[in-house]
A and B are shown apart, each in its own frame.
Chain A
Amino acid sequence: DAGITQSPRHKVTETGTPVTLRCHQTENHRYMYWYRQDPGHGLRLIHYSYGVKDTDKGEVSDGYSVSRSKTEDFLLTLESATSSQTSVYFCAITAGREANTEAFFGQGTRLTVV
């Protein structure tokens, strides 16, 4: 299995509070991604990174920010959590030197905003 660790695995937070999810990889891969997964929508890309300090938006980036200060860590921040951000969040990395290869996923973080 690819060395991807997400933390926390579960979190309950109140509306309006900031939340940061962490993805840590031990594979030294260049590309890292954050997805959210919701019933009826499948996996949707939030943000991704193609190197240290290099990030770009995905299709559902509103309300989220990311940072990548080290190759191994990719952080997803909800500045002010809303109930619509209740979801399961997955981090992924790509195994090859190019992004056009299979992505390996972490185990997910279940976030509930009450």
Chain B
Amino acid sequence: GESVGLHLPTLSVQEGDNSIINCAYSNSASDYFIWYKQESGKGPQFIIDIRSNMDKRQGQRVTVLLNKTVKHLSLQIAATQPGDSAVYFCAENMLGYSTLTFGKGTMLLVSP
């Protein structure tokens, strides 16, 4: 069957570069956001999350930025490695609601 990566916007970077993946979310009432990474043939894997009372959160080599004014979320990956090649999804949730809404994803390709 078709790969989930088809039809997705693609970001191509060189190993060692910093990568920035963007996501526009839909619901101004959303107050919890997550970034997932999905490698080929695997399930999505949690990377980092952020709540709406923050505008920045850092993890290991990753930073998530939240701009509630324009409903925009970004994931920054420092010193990108070939192992970072995957599809990246953002997801949003509203407090009190039981389900996440996912964006369609961005494929990140890292060249050695």
* Cβ contact within 8 Å between B44 and A90: yes
Chain A: how many interface residues by the 8 Å CB criterion? 30
Known: A50-B98, A108-B43, A110-B1. 18 other contacts (CB 8 A): A39-B5, A40-B6, A40-B104, A42-B103, A42-B105, A44-B102, A56-B98, A86-B1, A88-B4, A90-B44, A99-B93, A100-B95, A101-B32, A101-B49, A102-B34, A102-B46, A104-B46, A106-B43
Which chain B residue has the least Cβ–Cβ distance from A99? B98
Q: In the bound complex, do residue A43 and residue B102 qualify as a contact, i.e. CB atoms below 8 Å apart?
A: yes
Q: What's the least CB distance linking B32 to chain A, in Å?
A: 5
Beta-carbon contacts under 8 Å, A52-85 to B: 56, 58
Judge whether B69 is part of the interface by a CB distance below 8 angstroms.
no
Q: Which of B2, B36, B96, B103 contacts A39 (CB 8 A)?
A: B2
Interface of chain A: mostly helix, strand, loop or mixed: strand
Q: A39-B4, A39-B7 are in contact. Are A100 and B32 (CB under 8 A)?
A: yes
| Cα–Cα, bound, A43→B103 (Å) | 8
Identify whether the interface residues of B are mostly helix, strand, loop, or mixed. Answer: loop
Q: How many A-B residue pairs have CB under 8 A?
A: 66
Mark interface residues in B24-52 (1 if CB within 8 Å of A CB, else 0): 00000000101010000111111001000
Q: How many residues does chain B have at the interface if contact means C-beta atoms less than 8 Å apart? A: 30
Pick the residue among B6, B34, B99 that contacts A45 (CB under 8 A): B99
- Give the complex CA separation of A108 and B3 in angstroms: 13
CA distance A101 to B104 in the complex (A): 20
What's the minimum C-beta distance from A66 to chain B, rounded to whole angstroms? 14
A26 contacts chain B at the CB level, 8 A cutoff:
no
Instruction: Give every chain B residue within 8 A of A104 (Cβ-Cβ).
Output: 46
Residue of B nearest to A90 (CB): B43
Q: Is A13 located at the chain interface by the 8 A CB criterion?
A: no
Instruction: Point out the residues of chain A lying under 8 angstroms from B104, CB to CB.
Output: 40-42
* Cα of A48 to Cα of B99 in the assembled complex, Å: 8
Task: Please name all residues of chain A whose beta carbon is closer than 8 Å to the beta carbon of B100 when the two chains form the complex.
Answer: 45, 103
CA gap between A42 and B4 in the complex, in Å: 8
